[in-house]
Chain A
Amino acid sequence: MATTAGGRKLGRVMPTGRVLAIIVPFIVLLVVGGGTWYLYGALNPPPKQQPIAFPHPVHVETLQLDCQFCHRGAAIGPAATVPAVEQCMFCHKVAVTDRPEVQKLRAAWEKKEPIDWLRVYRMPDTVRFVHEAHIQAGFDCAVCHGNVGQQQVVQHARDLRMGDCVTCHRVNEAPTDCTTCHY
Chain B
Amino acid sequence: MPKWGMLVDLDRCSGCRACVAACQIENNVPINTEEIVNQRRGIQWIRIERYWEGTEYPAAKVRNGAMLCQHCRNAPCEPVCPVYATYHNSEGLNTQIYNRCIGTRYCANNDPYNVRFFNYWEPQWPESYYHYLNPDVTVRSKGVMEKCTFCVQRIRRTERQAKREGRALKDGDVQPACVQACPTDALVFGDISDTGSRVSRLAQDKRHFRVLESLGTDPVVFYLKKVDPQHVGDAAKQPAAH
Contacts and interface: CB of A to CB of B under 8 A. Distances in A.
Interface residues of B, number: 22
A132 interface: yes
Best-buried of A124, A130, A177, A183 by chain B (most CB within 10 Å): A183
A128 interface: yes
Interface in B37-53: none
Interface in B64-103: 87, 89-91, 93, 95, 97-100
B137 A177 contact: no
A73 B204 CA distance: 44
B139 interface: yes
Interface in A138-183: 177-180, 182-183
Nearest to A125: B138
Contacts of B100: 178, 182
Contacts of B98: 126, 182
Contact of A124 (B99, B156, B163): B99
Contacts of B149: 179, 183
Interface in A63-108: 76, 78
A126 B99 contact: yes
B138 to A, nearest CB: 5
B160 A178 contact: no
Contact of A179 (B95, B99, B135, B160): B95
Contact of B139 (A125, A130, A136): A125
Interface string A109-141: 000000000000000111010101100100000
B153 interface: yes
Best-buried of A124, A130, A179, A180 by chain B (most CB within 10 Å): A179
B153 A183 contact: yes
A178 B163 contact: no
B152 interface: yes
A162 to B, nearest CB: 9
B164 interface: yes
A132 B164 CA distance: 9
Contacts of A124: 99
Given A78-B136, A124-B99, A126-B98, A179 B163 contact: no
Contacts of A136: 163-164
Given A132-B160, A136-B163, A179 B93 contact: yes
Contact of A130 (B89, B93, B160): B160
A182 B163 contact: no
A178 B89 contact: yes
A133 B162 CA distance: 12
Interface string B184-217: 0000000000000000000000000000000000
Contact of A183 (B90, B137, B164): B137
B89 A183 contact: no
A182 B138 CA distance: 8
Best-buried of A76, A124, A128, A130 by chain B (most CB within 10 Å): A128
A178 B164 contact: no
Best-buried of B90, B137, B138, B163 by chain A (most CB within 10 Å): B138
A130 B100 CA distance: 20
Given A177-B89, A183-B138, A133 B160 contact: yes
Given A126-B98, A178-B89, A178-B97, A183 B156 contact: yes
22 contacts: A78-B135, A124-B99, A126-B138, A128-B138, A128-B153, A128-B156, A130-B156, A130-B160, A132-B160, A132-B164, A133-B160, A136-B163, A177-B90, A177-B91, A178-B95, A179-B89, A179-B97, A182-B99, A182-B138, A183-B95, A183-B137, A183-B152
Interface of A: 76, 78, 124-126, 128, 130, 132-133, 136, 177-180, 182-183
Given A178-B89, A179-B156, A183-B137, 17 more contacts: A78-B136, A125-B139, A126-B98, A126-B138, A128-B138, A128-B153, A130-B156, A177-B91, A178-B95, A178-B100, A179-B91, A179-B93, A180-B156, A182-B97, A182-B138, A183-B149, A183-B153
